[in-house]
Structure 1
C-alpha cells in the first residue's frame, strides 16, 4: 500500500458511506469493475461517481452500449440530478442497422462488430479526454466477442489504453456471464459487487462488498445500502474497535429510588442492560423511566420502538405518570418507530450511530433504548448473525459512554419460558421480570441477576404499575424464581396494595 506523500489523491465516489469503506475513495488512473444483477444500483453508483467528478471540475464521459440517453436522463431526473457536464455517448445499433439487408451474414461477423464498437469507444475517449469514464455495460462486449479468450484480450487492451491516458474507469457488468467466471476480477484493479436480495416478506434488501482493491486498505464484508432519492445511501459495517475512547465513570439514576437500590445505585454509563421477561410485566416501562430521567437532566435519550406504535407508547407512558411530550418538544428525547420489514440491520446500526454522534441534527444521545430485541431479530435476513451484529453495536455504544437498554420478551407468560436468542452474556446488567401468584392475584416481581460493573441487591422485589412505577420491599419467601414459575410463600401483608410503596 502506497502511503507516500507523492501519491495522487484518491478519487472520491461522491457516496459518503462508500468512500468510508474504500478508505477515502479509489486510486486514480485505474480500472474498476462494478458488478451486480440488473436493478442492483450499478448505473446510479456510476452516475454519482461522474457527478462528483463534475463537482471537482473533472471531465467525465459515460459510454453506454445498452441504455439510451433518454433512459439515463430519466434515472437522473428521478434523483433530482442534472447531467450537465457529463458527456454521454450512445454506441447502440441504429434503426437502419437492424434492417435485414444491412446485417452481416458472412463468416465471423462479430470480428467486424466488435472492432467497430471498440474503435468507437476509443475515438470518443480521444475526443473528450476525460478524467473519469464509465463503460456500460460489458455484457454487450462479451456477446460481441463470442469467446472468453477474445473477450479477455479486448478488456486487457481497453485497460492498457485507458492507463496511458490518466483515466479512472468504471466498467459495469450485469453478471450475465456463466457462474464462476472471474477473469475480469484478475484484470481489474478493484472490484465492487452489488447484491439485490428479496426476502420472503418485507422490502428488498441491498448490500455491497469490496471484493478486491489492490494496494489499498478497505473495510471488508457486506455493507447494507438503500437507493433513495439522491442516490445510494451506504451504511458501512460497524467495527466497534475503531471507536474506543476514554469515558467518565458515572451512574444513571431513575425516578424510583427503590429500583436504583436494586442496582446498587443505578446503571453505569458505558454499559448495556438487558431487561428480560414475559410480555406485559413492565420491561419497557422501566426502560422509559430511565430514559425520561436522563432527558430531564439534559442528557439526550433515543428510543427505538420496533413493536409498539409511537402514539400507544406515549399514551401508556403518560398513564404511568411519565409525560414524554415536554422532552420530545425540547429534543432531549427522540422517539423513532422502526418497521423491521423495511429497515435492514445495517441501516438500523447506522441510525443508532447518527443519534449517538449527533449527526442526526440533535445533541449526542447518552441513553439508547431498543424496544425490543424481538423486533430486531425479525429485521435480520440471517438469524445466526444477530448476536455478532448486536455485539458490535453494544461494544460501540459502550465505547461512546452510552447506557443501552435492550428489552426482550420471552416466549410464554407463565411456566417454563424461552428466549428467542441468548444475549445475556453480551449485556453488562441483566434485570429479570416475572409474574407470580399470591393471595388470588397475579403480581409482578423484579430482580437483578447480573451486574458486571459493581455490587447489586440479590433480593426479589415486587413491581407494581399502578399510575406509576412502584417497587416494594424485598420479598424473602419466594421459591422457583429462576424456573419461570415463582411462588410466594410469605404473608400477604408484606405485599403492596393500592397506594403502598
Structure 2
C-alpha cells in the first residue's frame, strides 16, 4: 500500500479528543471524560455496577454515532439484555459478542489431553476477539471481564503479556478500550493497573444498619487532572449516578452584602438587623426550645419576599412540620405549594453524604435557594458513615453555601434539658458565623424560655438575654431579662425580688 504524505507542518500527531462516559457526575470527576484511544481499567467487586457503567459508556458512543463493541467473556447476551431491561435501555447499536465456551466444550471427546487448556483456549479466544474488532472497526470496546482472561492465561506473566498485546493491537486503531475486572483474584493486580491509562475503582460498603453505601475513586489518570478522593454514587433505574466530592474553592464568586430579616422586630433587633446572606447561623438548645420554628420563620419570611428557601429535615416528617407550623400560625403550606419553599425529608439510613450534598447543590444552583435549613446536625451526624469527617465536610459545605450568598441555618439539639451541663454531639459553634442560644429556665413553678445571641461575625448584636415563647399566634421575643441573675443555669435568682415578665 502506498504510504500517504505527512500533513504540512511535520509529523506531529493530532492530540486525541475527550470522550464522555455517559454517567452523570463521573465525567466531572474525570475532568471532562476519558481521553480517546486509550486503555482503561474499571474494577470493583461483583454487584458494584461495572456492567452498568460499561453499557452507559457504549450507549453514549451510540448516541454520538460511533460503532461500539461489547465483548463478554462470562455473561451471555441474554443476561446482558436483562441488565439493560432493568434500566429501561435498548441495546440497539451495541454489537455484543459472546466469547463464552461452547456448550459442547463439556463433552469428554472435546477435552484437551496433550495440551493444557490455557494453551489452546486463550489463543482461540484472542483470535476471535481480534477478528471481530477488525470486522466491526469500533471506536469503543468493552471487555467483560478480565478474570476469564486471567484464568485462561494460567500465569501472571502470560496474562500480563496478553494484556500488553491487546493494548498494542488497539494502538493506532482509533479505539478506546474499557477493561472490567471483578477483583476475584486473591491479590490486587497492580501490574494491570500499571498498563492502564486510568484506573477507576468501584466500592460497596455494607454498614451494620441501613442500605449499602457505594463510592468510587480514580486511583490514577495519566497526564490529566481529575477530582481525587472518594465520590458517592448510587445505582437506580436509568444507571449510575455519581455525586462528585464538593470542593468549595471551585465555586468562589463576588457577593453583595445584604440581610435576610426574620419578620419579627424584636428578633431582628436581637440579631442586629437580621441574618446576613452568605453566613451560617447555628440555633442551639435543648429539645423543644423552638430552634426549628425560628429557622422556619426565616424561611417563610424569605418566601414571602419572593425568594426561595430549602428545608432539609432529618428528625421529623413533613406532615409533622406542617402541623407544627399550623399550630404556630405559620402559613408554611402556602409557600410549599407555590414552590418558594422546598422541604426534603432525609432518611439517614438510605441517603449517602454525597447525595445529601448533591440535593443541597441542586436546591441552590437549580432552584435558586437563598435560605437553606439543615434540621438537625444530630441527624446529619447519623448520616455520616464515619463521624470523624463530619466537621471537615460541614466546613466545605458551609464555605460553598457562603460563596453562593446563601443564608444557612443549622439546628443543634443539646443533650439535657436544663442547667449548665448541656452538651452537643457535634460542636459546630466555631464553624458558624452566628450562634443563637435557646434555654429553659424555672420561674414561679413554670418552665419558661430565653433566647440570646452568643456570637455574630457579621456585625453588632444585642448582648441581652430576652424572654422567648411560642403559642398559636406565633413566635414572641420579649423584653430583656435584666432583673435576673443566672438564667443560663436554669434556676435564676431575681434581683431586688423582681420576677420575670410573663
**With structure 2 as the length reference, what TM-score do the two structures score?**
0.95
Q: What are the superposed Cα offsets for residues 96-140 of structure 1, whole Å, 9 maximum, x if unpaired? A: 011233121334321111111111111111111100000000000
Alpha-carbon distance, 1:453 to partner: 1.1
Unaligned ranges ≥5, structure 1? none
Aligned residue number for residue 296 of structure 1: 304
- Equivalent runs, 1:31-430 vs 2, <5 Å: 31-358=39-366, 363-415=367-419, 416-430=421-435
2:24 paired with 1:16: yes
Q: 1:462 aligns with which of 427, 447, 467?
A: 467
Alpha-carbon distance, 1:328 to partner: 1.1
2:478 paired with 1:472: yes
**With structure 1 as the length reference, what TM-score do the two structures score?**
0.95
Distance 1:255 1:488, change over 3 A: farther
**Matched residues in 1 for 2:281 and 2:184: separation?**
49
Alpha-carbon distance, 1:337 to partner: 0.8
**Matched residues in 1 for 2:493 and 2:224: separation?**
64
Distance 1:186 1:438, change over 3 A: same
**Matched residues in 2 for 1:376 and 1:479: separation?**
35
**Matched residues in 2 for 1:310 and 1:102: separation?**
66
Distance 1:277 1:142, change over 3 A: same
Equivalent residues, number: 489
**Matched residues in 2 for 1:120 and 1:145: separation?**
16
Instruction: Please give the root-mean-square deviation of Cα atoms over the aligned residues, in Å.
Output: 1.6
Alpha-carbon distance, 1:336 to partner: 1.0
**Matched residues in 2 for 1:450 and 1:298: separation?**
29
2:453 paired with 1:448: yes
Q: Verify the 8 A CA contact 1:235 1:347 in the aligned structure 2.
A: yes
**Matched residues in 2 for 1:260 and 1:493: separation?**
27
Q: What are the superposed Cα offsets for residues 390-438 of structure 1, whole Å, 9 maximum, x if unpaired? A: 1111100000000000001011212312111211111000111111111
**Matched residues in 2 for 1:494 and 1:473: separation?**
13
Distance 1:477 1:106, change over 3 A: farther
Unaligned ranges ≥5, structure 2? 1-11
Q: Secondary structure at the match of 1:224?
A: strand
Q: Verify the 8 A CA contact 1:306 1:338 in the aligned structure 2.
A: yes
Q: Secondary structure at the match of 1:234?
A: strand
**Matched residues in 1 for 2:14 and 2:110: separation?**
53
